[in-house]
Amino acid sequence: MSANHAIVIIGGGPVGATLALSLLSRGIACTLLEARARGASHHDQRALALSYGTRLILQRLGVWEPLAAHATAINTIHISQRGSIGRTLLQAEDQGQEALGYVVSYGALTSVLDQALANHDGAQILHEAEVSEVLPGSAGTRVIFSQRGRSIVLDAQLAVLADGGRSLGSIPGLERETREYGHDALVSKVSAELPHNNIAYERFTPAGPMALLPNGERDFSLVWTGEQQAIQQVLALDDEVFLTELHRHFGDRVGRFLSVGKRMSFPLRLSRLNPVVLPHFAVIGNAAQTMHPVAGQGFNVGLRDAWELSLQLAEAAPATWGETSMLHAYAKTRQRDTRNGLLFTDFLVNIFSNEILGVSGLRGAGLGLLDIASPAKRFLINKMSFGARG
């Protein structure tokens, strides 16, 4: 079976769904291919940290109101270094924002996005669509996929890859620059003795950064990063010993840790695709760039990819969709934001993992100075909230 489509989006996760919804809100029809069954992601409890800028995008698309009931606000970010008295507080009220960010589950976000898409005319959403080949060409991009035993070919004026888990090794003209950190991230959900009071904690230790994000009424989502061997050892501990180790590294700011949920880990890398566009083909989100989770920037950069691409398409004549000049203009608008996000997260990992004699004291002093430097804090909050346009 073969058919022609103007815009085909590969990947129906939050980034792909946001792109589809952004296009539909501007009267642009599209076809969305999602490998999972309908609703399969709606019970996924993985935590996502949304920036304030991401909230504004979702608000413009009409999905923030149903999502807000499932979101936990981050009003304060507490940044500290183990073994140092220096610390920095970033507060929403100082910036005149309702919150610095929010924590939601992956499932809650995909559920409201899917419902919004279902309410739109012009969206063709194909679930259980397993893409096997993506073939960009000078006249368009051919997408080959199977669905419930049928092989289907779509010829698209523009195909957009928004599936962060997909390999791009078979697509000529794309090269990925990757640097392995040799670190793993352990993620879980923990409860603590004291309420979170909508404070997110970023704690830098000699073993690696540790983040606790308020998630729910009293719980935190934990992201604990460190050398692979050390994280795998911690992963293997029984719950009681794990909670003791977590307290030893994190400290007393939320009291004792009382319980921990399922623990998972994944390897960390810095990765960037170059280029992110070919004729009639674009790559966005985690498929285009992967960042260390230390500053929670990766997902938000990906969502801004989707938003900016939808703006470019809305402003371009339909006959030019997918043409080289149009896609290069999109890539240029995203270059600074992506580069800054990669450099910022990489800088934090390197500077706070460096244990050369004397560096620890300088870091602690730097955190203390940042806390009293209001312009610097405003600049940092703007960049974390809105990226390069902040």
Q: Is residue 88 part of a domain?
A: no
pLDDT of res. 336: 83
Alpha carbons within 13 angstroms on the beta-carbon side of residue 306 total 31
Q: Which pLDDT does position 214 carry in this prediction?
A: 96
Name the β-bridge partners of 200: 77
Report whether 189 contacts 260 (CB < 8 A): yes
Question: Rounded to an integer, what is the distance from CA 257 to the centroid of its chain?
Answer: 27
State how far the Cα of 14 lies from the Cα of 111, in Å rounded to an integer.
Answer: 9
Q: Is 83 contained in some domain?
A: no
Query: What is the span of the domain harbouring residue 340?
Result: 2-45+106-177+270-352
Task: Say if 283 falls within a structural domain.
Answer: yes
**pLDDT at site 363:** 47
C-alpha dist (Å) from residue 372 to 78, 86, 361, 369, 383: 14, 11, 17, 6, 18
Q: What is the pLDDT at residue 346?
A: 67
Nearest to 35 by CA among 130, 152, 110: 130
For residue 370, being part of any structural domain is answered with no
- Point out the residues of the chain with pLDDT beneath 50: 1, 354-365, 372, 388, 390
The reply to whether 200 falls in a domain is: no
User: Can you give the pLDDT at residue 390?
Assistant: 47
pLDDT at 338: 81
CB 330 within 8 A of CB 312: yes
Whose CA is closest to 269, among 289, 285, 284?
A: 289
Burial 27-63 (b: 16+ CB within 10 A, else e): ebebbbbbbeeeeebbebeebbbbbbbbbebbeebeb
What CATH code is carried by the domain that includes residue 297? 3.50.50.60
Judged by phi (left if over 0) then psi (alpha if -120 to 50, else beta), residue 380 lies in alpha
Supply the pLDDT for residue 349: 62
Burial of 129 (0-12, 13-18, 19+ CB in 10 A): buried
If one counts every other C-beta atom within 10 angstroms of the C-beta of residue 266, the result is 11
The three-class DSSP label of residue 111 is helix
Minimal CA–CA distance to 82: which of 257, 224, 243, 228? 224
Identify residue 311 by its one-letter amino acid code.
Answer: L
Domain annotation covers residue 345: yes
136 forms beta bridges with 141
CA pair distance 289, 141, nearest whole angstrom? 22
In a domain, 128, yes or no: yes
Query: How far, in Å, CA of 25 to CA of 44, rounded?
Result: 26
Domain count, the chain: 1
The tokens describing 29, both together, are 């029809």
Which pTM value belongs to this model? 0.89
- What backbone torsions phi and psi does residue 125 show, to the nearest 5 degrees? -110, 120
pLDDT score of 354: 46
The H or E element spanning position 90 is strand 87-91
CA 160/CA 282 separation, integer angstroms: 5
Strand (E) or helix (H) holding 66: helix 64-68
Do the domain assignments include residue 319?
yes
